[in-house]
């Protein structure tokens, strides 16, 4: 099977993108996706995303983690796929698509991609830890000197704890620097730290506001892969009008031949 693809990254969170409107990516298996995402034996990426036809919207997003499994919403991947759709001529300055968690709007403004995220109504607090779902489930926990933290060890300890090991959870470690938040994320499905996580920084921004650590509703986030912003409005039931804002960058395109 010959697969045409384009490689993208959003603040260091990298993806293999495939235009699957013609059905070129078929008879896929978890093993094939895992191979393509492998950084030694494949293209290398945190995940693989299919752009597919949608009967009413501009397109459909189907996301797989690098372990080969179809997963929940990916914010940076959604921004990268929007840029890909624009390059393909599917959308121009704005559009809408369906992902596993519902419908998302996207807009291009000032060279950045603004991705609409779903409302967040359920937030659980436990001391300096917040648990919430921003399209994917996240733990947000405060940390000192986050740059020196062993994210692999600390992330695995929470992700595989008795509370979360059955379905898994993403783990975000946050250090506050005035009104800017330094974030490192351990992602389930990748089972390692990624350079940034879109649903993760969205979770962090909302959690920091809910904890009273910022009053801003446009929050600056620094990740190892770059800077992102999250904009939102506080509502009676939680948080709405949420946007993940940041760059989406094409890296290269190519063709790979592999067995399905």
In the chain, % of residues over pLDDT 70:
100
Q: What is the dihedral of CA 44, 188, 33, 28, to 10 degrees?
A: -160
Over residues 126-133, mean pLDDT:
91
| Sign of the four-CA dihedral 16, 96, 232, 246 | positive
SS3 of the chain: CEEEEEEEEECCEEEEEEECCCCCCCCCCHHHHHHHHCCCCCCCCCEEEEEECCCCCCEEEEEEECCCCECCCCHHHHHHHHHHHHHCCCCCCEEEEEECCEEEEEEEECCEEEEEECCECCEEEECCEEEEECCCEEEEEECCCHHHCCHHHHHHHHHCCCCCCCCCCEEEEEEEECCEEEEEEEECCCCEEECCCHHHHHHHHHHHHHCCCCCCCEEEEEECCEEEEEEEEECCCCEEEEEEEECCEEEEEEEEECCC
Euclidean distance between CA atoms 176 and 146, whole angstroms = 10
| Two structure tokens written together for 228 | 């992102």
Q: Does residue 37 carry a catalytic annotation?
A: no
Q: What is the pLDDT of residue 1?
A: 79
Span 148-199, pLDDT tens digits: 999 999 999 999 999 998 889 999 999 999 899 999 999 999 999 999 999 9
Q: For residue 245, give the nearest of 219, 208, 223 by alpha carbon.
A: 219
Asked if residue 203 has pLDDT above 80, the reply is: yes
| pLDDT for residue 143 is more than 90 | yes
Same domain for 171 and 87, yes or no, is: no
Look at residue 126 in the predicted model and tell me its pLDDT: 85
Indicate which residue of 37, 80, 197, 258 is catalytic: 197
Q: Assess whether 131 and 33 both reside in one domain.
A: no
197 is catalytic: yes
- CA separation, residue 21 to residues 63, 208, 231 (Å): 15, 40, 32
CATH of the domain at 158: 3.10.310.10
- Is the pLDDT at 27 greater than 80? The verdict is no
Range of the domain at 163: 123-246
Residues 56 and 144 grouped into a single domain = no
Whether residue 8 is found in the same domain as residue 71: yes
> Do residues 138 and 112 share a domain?
no
* Whether residue 173 is found in the same domain as residue 78: no
185 with 233, same domain?
Answer: yes
Task: Please report, rounded to a whole number, the percentage of residues in the chain having pLDDT higher than 90.
Answer: 91
Predicted confidence at residue 135, as pLDDT, reads 95
242 and 253 together in one domain: no
Total structural domains in the chain?
Answer: 2
pLDDT > 90? residue 258: no
Task: Based on the fold, state whether residues 107 and 152 are members of the same structural domain.
Answer: no
Q: For position 260, what pLDDT does the model report?
A: 64
Q: Pick from 98, 105, 12, 11: which is nearest to 63 by CA?
A: 98
Residues 190 and 155 both lie in one domain: yes
- pLDDT, tens digit, 9 for 90 and up, residues 49-102: 999 999 999 999 999 999 999 999 999 999 999 999 999 999 999 999 999 999
Same domain, 59 and 155: no
- 226-234 and 218-223 strand pairing: antiparallel
Q: Distance between CA 72 and CA 135 in Å, rounded? A: 6
Confidence (pLDDT) at 76? 98
pLDDT band (50, 70, 90) for residue 38: very high
| Domain co-membership, 87 together with 164 | no
């Amino acid at each position: 099977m010959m697969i045409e693809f384009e490689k993208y990254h959003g603040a260091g969170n990298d993806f293999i993108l495939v235009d699957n409107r013609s059905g070129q990516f078929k008879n896929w298996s978890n093993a094939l996706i895992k191979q393509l995402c492998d950084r030694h034996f494949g293209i290398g990426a945190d995940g693989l995303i299919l752009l597919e036809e949608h009967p009413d919207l501009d397109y459909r997003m189907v996301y797989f983690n690098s372990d080969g499994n179809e997963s929940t919403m990916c914010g940076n991947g959604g921004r990268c796929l929007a840029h890909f759709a624009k390059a393909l001529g599917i959308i121009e300055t704005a559009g809408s698509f369906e992902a596993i968690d519902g419908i998302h709007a996207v807009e291009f403004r000032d060279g950045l991609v603004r991705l609409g995220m779903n409302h967040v109504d359920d937030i659980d607090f436990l001391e300096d830890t917040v648990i919430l779902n921003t399209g994917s489930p996240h733990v947000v926990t405060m940390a000192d000197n986050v740059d020196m933290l062993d994210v692999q060890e600390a992330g695995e300890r929470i992700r595989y704890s008795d509370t979360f090991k059955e379905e898994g959870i993403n783990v975000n470690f946050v250090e506050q620097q005035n009104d800017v938040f330094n974030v490192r994320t351990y992602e389930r499905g990748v089972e390692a730290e990624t350079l940034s996580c879109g649903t993760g920084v969205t979770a962090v921004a909302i959690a920091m506001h809910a904890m009273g650590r910022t009053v801003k509703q446009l929050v600056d986030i620094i990740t190892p892969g770059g800077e992102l912003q999250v904009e939102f409005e506080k509502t009676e039931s939680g948080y709405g009008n949420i946007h993940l804002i940041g760059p989406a960058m094409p890296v290269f395109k190519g063709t790979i031949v592999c067995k399905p």
